Every structure is written in C-alpha cells, then in structure tokens.
Structure 1
C-alpha cells in the first residue's frame, strides 16, 4: 500500500546487513548519564505516523531498484518531499550483523565528538529531481521484463528480502476487521476495563517499567510493525525504555549544510524476527534504531549524504518477570 505524503508516494525503505571483519574483544556497555531533552521526557504526542510492515513480494522483480521499492533485506525508506530536488528521496540503512560491533560503537555514540564515528549502523540519504541523468522520468514497465542491473550482490550474508507496505497508524487493515467493524486483534485506546491504567499505577516509581508498558501499549495497536515514519517534523520517537535516549546535544548538525537534524523514522526490533536472527550470545539485538535527518534535506550536489542513527540497546530494556 502506498501512502500519499505531501502529494507524493512513500514507497521505499532499504535495510541491509553490512559485512565487516569483527574483533573478538569483549566490550562492556558503559552506562553514561546525560541530560535528556524535555521533549523526550514527555509522552509522545499523537502526531500522525506511517507504519511499515513486511511481507513477501508477490512478484520478486518489483523489488528491483529501478522501481524504487520500499524493502527490507536483500541487496537497500523512500520518502519524497514536495521540492523538485527531492522527487526521488531514499534512505539506505546498513548495519553489521554482529552484536559485538554494535556494543563497541556504543562507547563512541555517547561522545559528542567521537574519534571514530559509529560504523555498525550507517544511514545514507540519496535524492534526485524527477529529471536526472540516472533514471527516466517515465515509469518502467511493470511486467517483470526488466533485468537486474548487476549480476549479483557483493555481500555473502544477505538478510531475507521483504517488501515494506505502509499504513496510517490507527487505521487497521480491512482483513483484520470483523463483520461488525471492530478490529478484534487491536487494543482500543478507549477501552473501559482500566487495565492499562492499573498497570501504570503498578509501575509507578519505576521509570523503565513504565516506559516499557507505554511502548507495549502503543505497539499493540499493530504488533507486526517494523517501521514508524513521520515527515511532519513534529513527531517524536517511541522509546521502549527511558534510559539510553539522546539529548539535543547528542544529535549532531548536518555535516553538509550545518543545519539542524530532526527525527524522521525509527526501526523497531520486530524486524529481527522477520530476518530470522538467531538467539545466540553475539546475535544482533536492539530496542530501537532512531534516524535523525537534515531538516532542510540539503542538496549539495549529486551523491549520498550520511545521516545520523541513534541506537537504543535492547539490553537496556526491563527484565521480564
């Protein structure tokens, strides 16, 4: 399903594994106390969000890059803005599949001016006007006759490939709706049993448990979501826990124009299930990956521009009782 955002279609997300040589050195995740911005202390405002879900494509050829697909895994979110220069606007997320590498980078993430920028999770923005030197302004034929532009991918450890479909939050799929029009699998915000209020009261005084309960209650509206996107500039990330959040000073300015970066989308841990990540000591795991992008979506010539990803580790989550 395509979602119309600012007169354009939200079509594509690409998340891929990043192959790197790993050190065997064990790295501990230091706890770093920092002042979290006021906006993160408040509950997330009910700003309209677009949710991403994964499903196997009906026709694999529709995920070829010339169709600008939204996808996760395989060989790389598509988020056009109304400006002519951003008619084609895509984000590519690459990550090392080793948890050791992610833990190592946690030390650097908390440094305002890291000596070695985070290398286990990389986000790149690419944008082109409709008329450009790389793609025709006419849509390619959707008949499966197009062939891949290369013989194969360089990586030898690709994750399973899925199409990412988009739905507005709070609008359940018709297939999930009963004949009486109520979505039995979703939890209504107006439910009258008061169970969530009781849960919050029980967790009073325990910030981590309270944050986790709020996260679970919000996600339960659509449990299979793997992506939360908002181009409004007003939305806030949905944090699973209260610790491990960045302050405003932790979000660097744009490397290219010096402008402010703002929250645009986040990747949820549900994606790990669909990628069939094994449950082992060095298995990749996270609570959420929050991506901050240049609010001006600056141009600065043709090329890929690196944006900023903040990783909140799952190990910071509350323990289940």
Structure 2
C-alpha cells in the first residue's frame, strides 16, 4: 500500500537579491543573513568556530512560522559554518552553528500587515558587519561609517575598496565580499511527491545501487565526491539506510533541503546515528526540523584537493516547546552525518 509523504523539499534558484531582504521573510542560501529579529543579534563571539576561532559565515536560513503559536507568527532558523576546510572532520558538527529567532505578529520591527514590493528595510536594528552581515560592534576609526564584526573583516573591507572612500563625502559602495560569502540563492520550498513502493529483495537492491553509482545521474548528484568516496558507497551496498536514502532522493535529485518538523531525518548511513540529541536550554527535548542535503555542496564552490568542506547530511534539531526569548536568538543543535567508510 502506498504511503504519502508530508516532507517539504528545498531547491535553490537565482533571483533578485532585493526579494531576499529581511522584510520579505525569505528562505535563502548564501550571501548575508536576512536577520529576523534585528536587535539582540548574536555577538561575533557566539558565531566563532570552536576549533579555529574564526568567524563562521552564513550558510542558509529557513523561514518556518508555526501557526498555532502566537510567539512564532514569524520564525526563522539560521545555519552558519566555518569556511576553514581543516575544521571539517568526519561526523563532526564542530564547525557548524544553528540559531533560531521568532517574533509575534506585533513586534518591534515589522508591520502586522503583509509586506508589499515597496516595503522598506527596517532601520531600527543593530549595526551589521559590512563584509559578512553579522553583528558589527567595531567600526572604522577614521570615518566611523563602516561597522565590522572583527579586525579581519575590517582589513578585507579596507583592501577591497574602503581605503579609497574613507573620510570622503561620497557614498562608499559595498565591498565585494565574494571571497568571504557563498553565492546567494533563493530557497524555494515545494511538497515532496513520493509514494513508498513495495520492498525489493536484498539482491535487487544491491544490483540497483551498483547500477545507480555507474549512471550519469549519480555523477551529477555526487560530483563533489572523489573516486575513493564513490568506491566506499559502492562497498556499502548492503547498507539498507543508504539504499533508502538513495532511493528517496532519486525522485528529486536537485533537492538541497528536506523539511519535516517533528519527523525523522533521511540518513545516509547506518553508522553514527543521532541517538543522543541534547535538550534545549529551557529543558525541553529537541526535535528534528530539517536537514541540509549533500547536493547543496555543488552550489557552494567549496570542492578542492585535500581537506574540503563536505557532508553526507546536516540535521538541525530545535526546541520542541519552541521556547520564546523575545528578540533574543536561541542556539539550537546541528548534527552531521557522513557516508560510511
């Protein structure tokens, strides 16, 4: 008997960056974060990689309000990561940070009415780093018109253009931050169209996996994987978890995100399962909300020889009670799983 899915899928699409500003409550990948609450932003120290102590950069955000919660009329979950490939080790979530923000309909920043094409960006928030878009408590000591999260980003801004405009009356153009940020995309959300089929025999599954790994579709989907990694996948052909993963994403191979709040993640391996998810600081259990798929790596430009940013899947768990902290951001839990060796 067929089993209908209630999972939402995310796909990236290039779009007008104006549509991705905070007043339109976007879901997006790359660029600067479109913060929900515009004050009480996480400090730069809260967005440091705990391994190398560098500022993490924005990866993506998912706008996910909860209809039956008055304090979640607006609600967004953010993910940041360290761009230092040496910090990315197998099955380690150390270089990642997940944050949640939520607001009631009546709040300090946005109108209770839906935004229009001419709705302006609110101007009553914290100062932002001109390079990466996180909280910018530092500023240029000469002109005091540019904010930064760190000395490192101030140096980048100085070298990339501010040196020519500092202390001049003309408006300083935005620094080219392509070396710091990921390319920006809109994250489009669609219902997953999938029906569970009758279980196949183990020999059928094994043969199907080998055929898939040799196909053009597999080459496209797993283009960031080395030949060694593909060989590992081939060798784990009896891993039922990976077979289920491959079968499910085959229906929509371009998906970069799966959203299923309160559901279960689609794992890539029977190893390193998420069995011990820590409770929220409020004491409530955390529940699965969404996962970031390996296909997103194809759009980030992070593939390189040697150490590289990589994952099988990134699973984000959030407070099941959806605890409310006003304009403050709440840190949530991200769990990483890689392919079996």
TM-score band by shorter chain is 0.5 to 0.7
Residue of structure 2 equivalent to 1:70: 27
Task: After the TM superposition, list the runs of 4 or more consecutive aligned residues in structure 1 that deviate by more than 4 angstroms.
Answer: 145-151, 188-192, 194-197, 200-203, 205-208
Shift in Å at residue 196 of structure 1?
A: 8.4
Are the aligned partners of 1:92 and 1:125 in contact in 2 as well (CA < 8 Å)? yes
Q: Take 2:112 and 2:203, find their aligned partners in 1: how far apart are those partners?
A: 53
Residue of structure 2 equivalent to 1:268: 293
Q: Take 2:295 and 2:240, find their aligned partners in 1: how far apart are those partners?
A: 20
Residue of structure 2 equivalent to 1:224: 254
Residue of structure 1 equivalent to 2:188: 165
TM-score calculated relative to the size of structure 2? 0.62
Task: Assess, with a 3 A threshold, how the Cα gap between structure 1 residues 284 and 86 changes in structure 2: closer, same or farther.
Answer: same
Task: Assess, with a 3 A threshold, how the Cα gap between structure 1 residues 191 and 197 changes in structure 2: closer, same or farther.
Answer: farther
CA RMSD of aligned residues (A): 3.0
- Choose which of 202, 205, 209 in structure 2 pairs with 1:199: 205
Q: After superposition, what is the alpha-carbon deviation per residue over 1:124-161, rounded to whole angstroms, capped at 9, x for unaligned?
A: 00000011012122333315x84696683336410010
Residue of structure 2 equivalent to 1:91: 77
Residue of structure 2 equivalent to 1:180: none
Shift in Å at residue 94 of structure 1?
A: 0.2
Shift in Å at residue 277 of structure 1?
A: 1.9
Residue of structure 2 equivalent to 1:6: none
Query: Which one has the largest radius of gyration?
Result: 2
TM-score calculated relative to the size of structure 1? 0.66
Residue of structure 1 equivalent to 2:278: 252
Matched, 1:284 2:309: yes
Residue of structure 2 equivalent to 1:139: 114
Q: Take 1:164 and 1:214, find their aligned partners in 2: how far apart are those partners?
A: 25
Q: Take 1:164 and 1:202, find their aligned partners in 2: how far apart are those partners?
A: 31
Residue aligned with 1:103, SS: coil
Q: How many residues align?
A: 236
Q: Take 2:278 and 2:297, find their aligned partners in 1: how far apart are those partners?
A: 27
Q: Take 2:264 and 2:283, find their aligned partners in 1: how far apart are those partners?
A: 22
Are the aligned partners of 1:228 and 1:267 in contact in 2 as well (CA < 8 Å)? yes
- Choose which of 51, 54, 77 in structure 1 pairs with 2:12: 54
